[in-house]
Amino acid sequence: SPSSTIPTRLLLLSDTHIRSRSKNPLPFPIPSTPVDIVIHAGDITDSSTLSEFRLCLSYLRQLNAPLKLIIAGNHDYTLDLPASTQFIPSQSHSQKRKNDLGHPGEAHHLLSSFQSEGIYYLQEGTHTFTLSNNAKLTVYASPATPAFGSQGFQYTQQEGHVFDIPPETDIVISHGPPRGILDVSRLTRASCGSLELWEAVKRTKPKLHVFGHIHEAWGAALVKWKDN
């Protein structure tokens, strides 16, 4: 009901693909408008290097919001702890490359060390927050996407993935789209979204679902859930 809701302003980001060696590492100007929450839906970096993560944190600290929530995407593969032990040795052809990527777990530790500044790196699962406007927020986060190439947080069609979204969830943040919603690839002209994610979102009916991954399918969709 209107009496039990609190107006909350959000800034939604995804797929910034920050490149530390680029003249313009961030693909947009930093907005100065104050918001209650910033959400970044993954692919923070382009190559998952420590310098790219540090740049991202520097930009996030400049955004005018008391709470900033970020998840990983497939390009942020050094945050995928099981996979990073394979990625880092296989892609480290030089000591410099090893230094760029860091040791397994280093990027994860870096992103997890800024909670005192309101920046929260969310791993798969449910998280709860009380906002500065006293609104209570339940968030489900997932970096998982259907496999395409060899990157992080990906699952094969045979493996599938369980998106265990609780019914009381306010916001779902996933890197990839659900099947059929802003998920058509320009390359294949086919839907690339996850059917498992769509079924989970359809079941729980969150107020907001934030995702990215398919760059050319960017945008927003306003939906009305049916009772059944």
> Tens of pLDDT along 131-156?
988 889 999 999 999 887 678 899 98
> How far is the CA of 192 from the CAs of 145, 148, 186, 219, in angstroms?
9, 10, 10, 16
Mean pLDDT of 217-228: 83
* pLDDT score, position 1: 43
What pLDDT score was predicted for residue 90?
58
Which CATH number is associated with domain 2-217? 3.60.21.10
The type of residue at 53 is F
Tokens linked to 25: 């590492």
- Tell me what the pLDDT averaged over the chain comes to: 88
What's the CA gap between 79 and 10, in Å, rounded? 25
Which of 75, 83, 72 has its CA nearest to residue 110? 72
Q: Which residue has the higher pLDDT, 21 or 36?
A: 36
pLDDT at 191: 77
Question: What percent of the chain is modeled with pLDDT above 90?
Answer: 57
Beta bridge mates, 69? 39, 120
Which whole number is the average pLDDT over 68-86? Answer: 89
* Cα 125 to chain centroid, rounded: 12
For residues 9 and 28, the model is more confident at 9
Instruction: Please say whether the beta carbons of 182 and 209 come within 8 A.
Output: no
Pairwise pLDDT comparison (186 vs 115), residue with the higher score: 115
What is the band of 38 on the pLDDT scale with cuts at 50, 70, 90?
very high
Lowest mean pLDDT, pick from 32-36, 94-98, 103-107, 189-193: 94-98
Domain residue spans in the chain? Answer: 2-217
* Cβ atoms of residues 27 and 17 within 8 Å: yes
Nearest to 144 by CA among 85, 74, 78: 74
Is the per-residue pLDDT at 205 higher than 50?
yes
